[in-house]
Structure 1
Amino acid sequence: MITTERLRLRPLTEADTDWWVRLHADAEVNRFVGGYTREQAAARLHAIEQQWTQRGHGLCAVELRSTGEAIGRSGLNWWEEFGETEIGWTLASPYWGRGYATEAARAVLDWGFGPLGLKQITAMIHPDNTASAAVARRLGFTFLREDTVIGRPCVVHALTRDDAAFR
């Protein structure tokens, strides 16, 4: 579990299926990362649990420390097809613009570059998601390439451990 001043991040499990479906049903969230049926969500969360077991990291629920309410997700995801570890952040739209994404992502980067010893982390962001691109810039990420992930276009940004040390 990772904690920050306002947030707690805990590993996602299949028990989060209904919440995952609700998060991705938010129209503002859905336009950037897509929606899930209950079956798709359960399969995705099962894969996340396997990644935690196999790689020692994965995606986390982002909860408010003050209430325990889950407001989004963040964490690290290994993409076999790219040979890259990606950081992700997705918050329910009522929580946008409050600095939670930056706070969660900064804690995940510290974990990835610190105890996990990763040398580079990427961020795959939909080209129209200007808010997430701004978070990436704030964290020190720079453009790496344009690509496609899960059938959606994305702009891939990268941050190395050496560059992160200067942020």
Structure 2
Amino acid sequence: MPEIETARLRLRHFTPEDFDVLYRLYSDAEVMKYLSPRTREQTQASLDKHIQHWQENNYGMWAVIRKDSGKMIGRCGLGLLENTSEIELGYVFDKSYWRMGLGTEASVATLKYGFLEVKLNRIVAIAHPQNLASVGVIEKIGMKYEKNARFYNSDVVYYTVARQEWHPDDSLYILQT
């Protein structure tokens, strides 16, 4: 299964051994403020889903690893947007790694993978309007606001980017298969 290396990160597939770190992220009220904290059972279901999604598709969520420390610091990748056939960019990062550009770095690599490898025509992203950091990442990677919408029982802002409108940058992107 494919993995990606960027300047500071390695995006790899989840394994069952990632449960403890994922649960620490998913149960942190501050990290999950705009999503919803998850129980141990919900985290296990999410982890199983992340693993299974890659087995059934050629894309999914990656565990995001800091290359310098080898620590898992979050997740980033592609999934199906609730009740649609659209492919959504999503990410969650440990709060001690916020405001370092790591979400942007992982998201840029994810878009490259989606457009160059999976050959997707369009990728969407949603965020709570109050989540200015997430909206900032989405805009920084070149996605454009399209509308206000409602997904996952929340009012959100909805962004898109089409492959023909997307402009890849020259940041480090090494695909390993």
Q: Do they fold alike, i.e. is TM over 0.5?
A: yes
**Aligned 8 A contact 1:21 1:35 in 2:** no
Does the residue aligned with 2:99 lie in a helix, a strand or coil?
Answer: coil
Q: How does 1:107-122 map to 2 (within 5 A)?
A: 107-122=109-124
Cα drift, residue 12 of structure 1: 2.0
Partner of 2:77: 75
CA-CA distance at 1:150 after TM superposition: 2.4
CA contact (8 A) 2:15 2:51 kept: yes
Mark the runs of 5 or more structure 2 residues left unpaired by the alignment: 170-177
Q: Which residue of 2 aligns with 1:58?
A: 60
The sequence identity of aligned pairs, in percent, is: 35
Q: How does 1:1-167 map to 2 (within 5 A)?
A: 1-79=3-81, 81-165=83-167
Distance 2:142 2:164 in 1: 11
State the shift of 1:67 in Å.
Answer: 1.1
Deviation (angstroms), 1:158: 0.4
Q: Which amino acid aligns with 2:165?
A: D
Q: CA deviation at 1:51?
A: 1.1
How far apart are 1:11 and its partner, in Å? 1.4
Gaps of 5+ in 1: none
Give the residue type in structure 1 aligned to 2:100. Answer: R
Tell me if the contact between 2:73 and 2:94 (Cα under 8 Å) persists in the aligned partners.
yes
Counterpart amino acid of residue 111 in structure 1: Y
Q: CA deviation at 1:166?
A: 6.6
Q: Which one is further off, 87-96 or 72-81?
A: 72-81
Q: Distance in 2 between matches of 1:96 and 1:80?
A: 26
2:139 alignment partner AA: R
The structural deviation recorded for 1:147 is 2.4
- Equivalent in the alignment of 2:174: none
Per chain length, whose mean CA-contact separation is higher, i.e. which structure has more relative contact order (CA < 8 Å, sep 6+)? 2
In 1, the alpha carbon distance for the partners of 2:50 and 2:168 equals: 31
CA-based RMSD: 1.5
> Structure 2: how far apart are the matches of 1:10 and 1:73?
9
Where 1:28 maps in the other structure, the secondary structure is: coil
1:9 offset after TM fit, Å? 0.6
| TM-score, structure 1 normalization | 0.93
State the 1:90 CA deviation: 1.4
Q: How many Å apart are 1:16 and its aligned residue?
A: 2.0
